[in-house]
Structure formats: structure tokens, C-alpha cells
Amino acid sequence: MSHGVEQLEFVQEADYVIIGSGSAGSVAAARLSEDGKHKVMVLEYGGTDFGPLIQMPAALSYPMNMSRYDWGFGTEPEPNLNNRQLATPRGKVIGGSSSINGMVYVRGHAKDFDHWDESGAKGWSYADVQPYFQRAETSHGGATGEGRGTDGPLHVGRGPRDNPLFHAFVEAGRQAGFEVTDDYNGLKQEGFGAMEQTVWKGRRWSAANAYLKPALRRENLKMMNCFVRRVLFDGKRAIGVEVQRGDRIERVHARKEVVMAASSINTPKLLMLSGIGPAAHLREKGIDVLADRPGVGGNLQDHLELYIQQACTQPITLYSKLNLFPKALIGAQWLFFKTGPGASNQFESAAFVRSKPGVDYPDIQYHFLPVAIRYDGTAPAEGHGFQAHVGPMRSKSRGTVRLASADPLASPSIRFNYMSHEDDFAEFRHCIRLTREIFQQAAFDPFRGKEISPGVDVQSDDQLDEHIRNHVESAYHPCGTAKMGAVDDPYAVVDPQCRVIGVEGLRVIDTSIFPRITNGNLNGPAIMSAEKASDHILGRDPLPRSNLEPWINPRWKESDR
């Protein structure tokens, strides 16, 4: 496959060509077109995000399971999960995964970003990235004076927390001796408290709604519906993108730069199809090597989680809303007024805690839900119940994204190698036992029925391990496959300005660049990364560094709480 450009004829051109209209691509589209000086083109394969299944927050389980909105990726059989193949949904729609995600907003912990900086992503410490989180958001209900944004495009709010179970969960955490926090996205992540969501005026506030759609009113920003096949080069310089529309293959010219924001699954795939990646793998697939970057498609990380489910003795959970008639009422109330249960993702309480003494910042996350239900929307037969989603935040397991073939239309081969590090099972067993301890607190006395899952008979390490292997699910936070680092790091793919090392005119700005996964859900950090990368692309000085000091538990050496 030649990288020559003799025969290329470009059908469209722009200064900046952005691949993908997801969380990162929408931000870049808005920021790069903002001053009106540059022509910007966004390439998106997915269709419209119009309609209640995407825009209604409570309907979140639907778009994630629809081939119309999701790329439909899945893992290879995972050996440590009894060879289960797990779904790896990525948004194939305007707004990308921010249009099909759970709308949970978590910035990550300050120390996550300090770790990035220390590992070679210089200039991405907490002090450096905090101003970009602030620029992105308008916070509704966040702690004042803690670096929350007041005039950004991304509205971040909280659910009404009408259900008493939301308060029981936070109170149970306090009774178990853990911290509580008024704002885990402020200076104190550690503790139990209200969960934040990207919902505004009752609608899913995706990156498309926040950034892309308002920006598309500008003359200098255009979006093209097409399938991206690869990046085109003149020598080592990226000069455009090869795309497919129907059965026609066309070329889009980038006068300044090509900006990749195609997701941590599709970005490494496109880099490899373009000749950038592990040389032996590319040759094996018959692809000419333009830049040997062994890190492309490596360092793949994710969060896993389990649902710990408990029956509820009072008929106050969402279970009564799962039948056809109540669903129709909720839908009507949402459609006409954008209010009611349909206007929340139902994740309204949360916690970030530390697993043991000597861990200096939280490494376990909780989402609490006042119903016992699966992500695909199916409920267990038990009726009323509640559940906590729990999982470790910093598994040491790493996986890969590889090309299954040189055909751009083929899905990539995804192997997370879940639970492959020796610490993984011990960390998960601790999560299960800790959740049981929290559910046994007095705050749950008025509500607690029997344990639904794992079930009281699942107690020993071996029993818990088998339960984990059979039931652990992805939290859908893949990242790390084109990691940012020092130019002399052989496994780094982009430098701290997000430029792909070894070529020119090409950047990656999505969650692929994360050196290590952050605490919590990744939509917030994805948006922040693109905010910061946009300044790098435009050659602007970064925003002034923050001098805010994050809260670290003074007892972290002695206690887990």
C-alpha cells in the first residue's frame, strides 16, 4: 500500500480536518472554528442524534444496544473471564459516545493528572488541566470556590435525589466511617455524596449539544458524513484523509493538520491502517510502515464493575416504573415537559473511597441506583431492589487493539486482558465485601431485604472469584491506546502537544492519549483533553496554572477511611 500522493484528487478541503464528532471531536470543532480564521471540517460516519432514545436521560440503556448508534465492537474471548466476549460500545452517531453514555460526570482525581505529568506527559498535571475543566463547564450545584466552571458550554448538574435510598447510601457510608463530600468534582473527591450528570433542562447534554451544534452555525465549520479509511501522507506529513461515501472513495485535504478523535478503539485502528504502529504487525497485514510506533494499540485500559444487588422491603424503587403503562407516562411527561424520572440518568449518589491504608487517593468508585437492573434494561425477577455498581479504578492489567485485517471496513481485534494482573481478583473481592458492609449499616435497616447478587451463599475467596469471572462487566471506559509521553519513550505515541511522534501534521486528542486511566467516568477528562489540545493546535499559550490544593485524607497512611 503506497503512501504516495501523485494520483490524489481532493474533493473537499479545510485547514483542520477532524476525524470523529464525539466528546473530543465536538470540542475541537467548536474551539478551532471559534475565531473564524480557520476552515474546519468534521468527518462523522454516524447519523443524527435526534429523537427521545438519545435525548431522554432515563432511556440510556437503549442507544448503547442499538446498531444504529453503536459501532458494535466486542472483545476477543477474555481468558480470565471464562472466555466471555464483552461488549465494547462506542458511539456511531453525532456526539459519539457522549450521545450513548450514562451521562455521569467525573473529572478524575488531581493525582491522576499529576501521574500523567510524572510519566512523561509534561504540562498535564492537575495544576495544568484544572483550568480546562473549568473552561469547559457550567456547574449547577457544585461547591463554590473549588474551581468549578460558571460559563462553559458543558452543563453539569445533579439529579433531584427524591428517592430516600439515595440518602440512605450516603448516610450508610458515613456510618461505616467513610468521608462524605459535597462535591467530588471539587477539591475533595474522596467520600460519599451526590453524583453529577451531563443533563441540562431535562435533556442529555452531550458534546454535540454543548459544543458541536452551536458551532455548526458558523460559516467556517462543516460536517461531512463519511467512513474514514486512513490518513494520507506526503512523505511524513499528513495532508488529508481518505474517506468512503457509498461505494465512492474520496479524499479530503487538510491544509494545516489532521486531528484524530475517533475513540480509543478506532483511533489506533486508523493509525495502523495509515502505516503508524508496531512495524511487525503492520507488515504482517501488508501495510507499508511509515512510522514504527510500538505503542499504537497498546496500553489499553478500562474499568470493570460488578452490580451488588439487594432486595428492597418498601415499594419505593424504580421497579414499579418498568412496566409499559408507567413507562408511557414517564415518556409523555418527559416529551412534553422535560421533567420527571425521564429527566435523570438515575445515578444520583456516588462514592470514591480508598481500598486500604497506604493508598493515598481513592481507587474504588460507586454508582448507586434505586433499582436492581442490568445495563441492558432487564430486571431480575425479585421485584423491588437497589444496587451499587462497584469496581477498582486502577487495575494494572493492560490490553491491545490490533488490526484484524488491512480492510478498513473490518472491525479491529480488541483484547483487554481483563483481570490478568495478580492483584485484580483481591481488589474485586474487597469491593464486594466492602459493599456488603455498607449495605449492612443502620441507614439501610428500613429498606434492606435479602441479598440478590452475589447472594449470601457466595462468601469464600473461590466463590467470589467465580462470581467475578462470570458477572463482571465493562464500565465502558476504554482508553490509553495512543498514549501521551516523552518523545524518547518508545511506547509513547503522541508528545505532550498531542502530536503523533514520527510524523508531521497529525494529532490525537481523544481518550487514546491517556497514559493511565483516570478515576471515574471518562467523558469529563475526554472533553478537558480536547479543550487543552485545541490550544496546542492553535499555538496558544496554555491557560494559567491553577494553585488550588486538592484534599488528601490526613489518615491515608493509617486507615482506608
DSSP H/E element including 413: strand 413-415
What are 140's three cell numbers?
A: 449547577
Report the DSSP pairing between strands 12-19 and 40-44: parallel
Annotated ligand binding at 31? The verdict is: yes
Q: What is the pLDDT of residue 4?
A: 44
Annotated ligand binding at 168? The verdict is: no
Residues 551, 188 contacting (CB under 8 angstroms): yes
pTM: 0.96
Of 46, 500, 12, 556, the residue nearest 260 (C-alpha): 500
Annotated ligand binding at 4? The verdict is: no
Longest dimension (CA), the chain: 75
Which ranges constitute the DSSP H helices of 375-502?
424-439, 461-471
DSSP string, 232-276: EEETTEEEEEEEEETTEEEEEEEEEEEEE-SHHHHHHHHHHHTTE
DSSP H/E element including 192: strand 191-194
Annotated ligand binding at 92? The verdict is: no
Amino acid at 301: Q
Q: Residue 418 contacts by C-beta under 8 Å, 6 or more apart in sequence?
A: 75, 78, 80, 81, 86, 302, 304, 395, 397, 399, 424, 472, 474
Annotated ligand binding at 23? The verdict is: yes
Residues 268, 297 contacting (CB under 8 angstroms): yes
Annotated ligand binding at 19? The verdict is: yes
Annotated ligand binding at 173? The verdict is: no
User: Other C-beta atoms within 10 Å of 432: how many?
Assistant: 19
Annotated ligand binding at 390? The verdict is: no
- How far apart CA 73 and CA 96 sit, in angstroms, is 14
Q: What is the pLDDT of residue 376?
A: 66
Q: What angle do CA 359, 303, 439 make, to 5 degrees?
A: 70
Annotated ligand binding at 30? The verdict is: yes
CA distances from 276 to 145, 283, 286, 294 (A): 44, 11, 13, 9
- How far apart CA 152 and CA 53 sit, in angstroms, is 26
Domains and CATH numbers, the chain: 1-150+199-301+478-544 (3.50.50.60), 160-194+304-392+420-471 (3.30.410.40)
Q: What is the pLDDT of residue 312?
A: 96
Annotated ligand binding at 16? The verdict is: yes
Annotated ligand binding at 21? The verdict is: yes
Which residue numbers are catalytic?
A: 477
- How far apart CA 195 and CA 368 sit, in angstroms, is 9
**Which mean pLDDT values do the consecutive 10-residue runs of the chain (561 residues) have?**
55 97 98 98 97 91 91 97 97 97 97 98 98 98 95 97 97 98 98 98 97 98 98 98 95 98 98 98 98 98 97 92 84 90 94 98 97 72 89 98 98 98 97 98 97 96 98 97 98 98 98 98 98 98 97 98 97
For residue 102, which phi and psi values (nearest 5 degrees)? -85, 5
**219 burial level (CB within 10 Å; 0-12, 13-18, 19+):** exposed
Of 70, 53, 71, the residue nearest 62 (C-alpha): 53
Q: What is the pLDDT of residue 326?
A: 84
Annotated ligand binding at 104? The verdict is: no
- How far apart CA 170 and CA 181 sit, in angstroms, is 9
Annotated ligand binding at 528? The verdict is: no
Q: What is the pLDDT of residue 379?
A: 65
Annotated ligand binding at 531? The verdict is: no
- How far apart CA 364 and CA 403 sit, in angstroms, is 33
Annotated ligand binding at 41? The verdict is: yes
